[in-house]
Structure 1
Amino acid sequence: MFMKNKAKVLFLILAVCLLSGCGMVKEKKEATEAEHKEAVIKEAISCIEEKKYPQAIGMLSQIKDDKKAEDLLRQLRYLISGTYLANLDDGVAAIDNSGKVRIKTDHTYRKDNTYKESLGWDNMKSLSFAQGRLDGLDQTGRIYSTKDTDPAYIYVAEKLKSYTEIEGISTDFDNYVLLSKTGKIEAFSEKYGEALEYFKEEISTWTDVVKVVTGQLRIAALKQDGTVYIADYNKYYGADGTVDDEVNDWTDIVDIADVFGGPIVGLKSDGTVVCTKEEIKGPDGNLVKNPHAFHVSGWNDIIAISQSGYSLLGLKRDGSVVATGGNAHKQLDVSGWHDIVAIAAGDWISIGLKSDGTVVIAGDCGKLNPEDVFGRKDLYVPTVKY
């Protein structure tokens, strides 16, 4: 009996030791994971200090369930997006330090565009130029438009009464594509009366989206994991020239740019740039040169990208800018730019925001003074706080 009781005691002691050991292993694992997160965040902050924003985004994107990493990612993505600056083709729109939108245009070429130079919009976050219309998103998720009497805007404004978590906006013609804070997309169009019918089902399945861009015929979305979704009108009608297969192989993407169904451009976490093919199939099935082709194979150390229908700008870490595409209006003549922190490409002009809150312009800017568009150094220049 004594031996039997002794055996029970030894078994209990062994069980307690094993359970304690499991607890210690679990605690050690959790401590190791926490230390790893802290080390990655520290390295990412070092990259931020060196203006290596894509690299920092790449690092932070690997961290799950960490509020500090999520906050840094949110700030970085906004900083490189440049959505606080907009190219109106014949002018500039920018958010100033008070949260208002300031506009300066010249109507030499496009007299149909009329904007007030000071809009009554407050607490603004992002701007989106939509071919003759400027749309905006404020910090609370409210949508604004310079053509707020248009049926498209009225329809969207009515639908948005039930939305309170809008994080991003991309607009084009009568299309409004909105990104929620939960990583889901809602697309609205006056023409179709609902979410774009040929995209509706597909985009409803997309999750973890951190950026969305739209042209009239396509929606492109960047995922948290660095891959890209495409919903292409051409795909639904069996047309040639879709880019789904190309972007399916993309990884480590930290930003995307796309306009009018032309090439999709991606900024990678190593500071290089990728672009969809330079050749497309013509009506006869033969390959022809893509009129919207961009040449980016030699680009490196890029921290932001911006695309128009015919031109692409890349902002380098040293504050200079590279450009490719059509240059009919000398909008690519940006080689002399320096100290640039944000860019906005256009078919007529290119715009650069400098670190002192002023802008520079290249191209046919008409009567605009490219050296002093607004006259004051008070445009909003975001910084990352950590």
Structure 2
Amino acid sequence: MSAWTDVVAVAAGAVHAARNTGRSHTVGLRSDGSVIATGWNADGQCAVSGWRGVVAVAAGWRTTVGVLADGRAVATGRAAEGQCDVSAWRDVRSVSCGDWHSVAVRVDGTVIAVGNNRRGQCEVDEWRGIISTAAGYTHTLGLRGDGHVVAAGDAPSGACGVERWRDVIQVDAGSHHSVAVTTAGRALAQGDNEFGQCEVDAWSGLVAVAAGSRHTLGLLADGTVVSTGEDSDGQCRVKSWTGIRIPI
């Protein structure tokens, strides 16, 4: 990735942990609106070299979605579940991708979703006042402008049990868990906790969170990072990280 320059945003392919997973891809958005990608490309998910005028990107397991400056969306990669059926989307402000579904927030605060819906993760048509979304393996989160969070999809894991969350400023979705940051800089987590990925109650001074398949990261205001959850591949070894900042 040494050739990557002028990158203003990145996205990592979402993938749940299973025997047939593990391969993924990475996408970068350049300041000139072009896009670059590297990694697993079996379904053409890295075929983004011709994209122009892109203002946001998201990556699923085998899919890449981009938002154009005019509010339309483009997609490439595996389309078998319908996750690339975004050509009709208009007035899109942001996108997120789960393993098998793609979600977009429109400028009017409504939400649209396409792709695998076996757990109801695409049932977002009635959501209103949404400012951002996050997509997990089989669930979707929506952050409302009033700091409340709504969810659709996976019920068995408990990842959708967010109805009591308040004063939230950012959300993210792991494969089977949901995480959030509040205005007070605290973290919230809900869902599968087999690897301790939801053990965030002691965290404070947060400005952002990120959820992997089975682990969670928190960015502190001082630029350091905390982590919890599965560490079998060293994904939680972040104690030495300093000077990390959210892109403006």
Give 3-state SS (helix, strand or coil) of 2:44's partner. Answer: helix
1:379 aligns to 2:225 (yes or no): no
Structure 2 partner of 1:105: none
CA contact (8 A) 1:232 1:242 kept: no
Q: Choose the corresponding residue for 1:348, options 185, 193, 214.
A: 214
Structure 1 partner of 2:147: 271
Q: Choose the corresponding residue for 1:322, options 188, 193, 203.
A: 188
Large movers: runs of 4+ above 6 Å = 148-151
Which one-letter code corresponds to 2:35 in the other structure?
I
Distance 2:143 2:227 in 1: 23
What displacement does 1:232 show? Answer: 2.9
What displacement does 1:346 show? Answer: 1.6
Distance 2:176 2:81 in 1: 28
Distance 2:200 2:81 in 1: 40
Q: Choose the corresponding residue for 1:251, options 120, 123, 128.
A: 128
Greater percentage in strand = 2
Structure 2 partner of 1:338: 204
Matched residues, number: 238
What displacement does 1:309 show? Answer: 0.7
What displacement does 1:144 show? Answer: 2.8
CA contact (8 A) 2:186 2:206 kept: yes
Greater percentage in helix = 1
1:294 aligns to 2:171 (yes or no): no
User: Which structure 2 residues correspond to residues 81-230 of structure 1 after superposition, within 5 A?
Assistant: 119-130=2-13, 131=15, 132-147=24-39, 152=44, 155-157=47-49, 160=50, 163-189=51-77, 191=78, 198=82, 203-230=86-113
Q: Which is further off, 129-138 or 316-325?
A: 129-138
Give 3-state SS (helix, strand or coil) of 1:276's partner. Answer: strand
Unpaired stretches in structure 2, ≥5 consecutive residues? 16-23
The normalised TM-score by structure 2 is 0.83
CA contact (8 A) 2:81 2:115 kept: no
Higher Rg: 1
**What percentage of residue pairs aligned between the two structures are identical?**
25
Give 3-state SS (helix, strand or coil) of 1:333's partner. Answer: coil
Distance 1:241 1:310 in 2: 12
Across the aligned residues of Structure 1 and Structure 2, the Cα RMSD in angstroms comes to 2.7
Structure 2 partner of 1:231: 114
Which one-letter code corresponds to 2:7 in the other structure?
M
What displacement does 1:358 show? Answer: 1.7
Q: Do the aligned partners of residues 179 and 306 (structure 1) sit closer, same or farther apart at CA in structure 2, a change above 3 Å counting?
A: same
What displacement does 1:233 show? Answer: 4.0
Q: Do the aligned partners of residues 119 and 338 (structure 1) sit closer, same or farther apart at CA in structure 2, a change above 3 Å counting?
A: farther
Give a deviation string over 1:146-176, Cα, whole Å, max 9, x none: 428767256332xx1xx42101111123311
What displacement does 1:350 show? Answer: 0.7
Distance 1:210 1:341 in 2: 22
Give 3-state SS (helix, strand or coil) of 2:90's partner. Answer: coil
CA contact (8 A) 2:55 2:67 kept: yes
Give 3-state SS (helix, strand or coil) of 2:48's partner. Answer: helix
Give 3-state SS (helix, strand or coil) of 2:39's partner. Answer: coil
Structure 1 partner of 2:175: 309
Give a deviation string over 1:62-121, Cα, whole Å, max 9, x none: xxxxxxxxxxxxxxxxxxxxxxxxxxxxxxxxxxxxxxxxxxxxxxxxxxxxxxxx8442
Which one-letter code corresponds to 2:133 in the other structure?
I
Structure 1 partner of 2:21: none
The normalised TM-score by structure 1 is 0.55
Which one-letter code corresponds to 1:325 in the other structure?
G
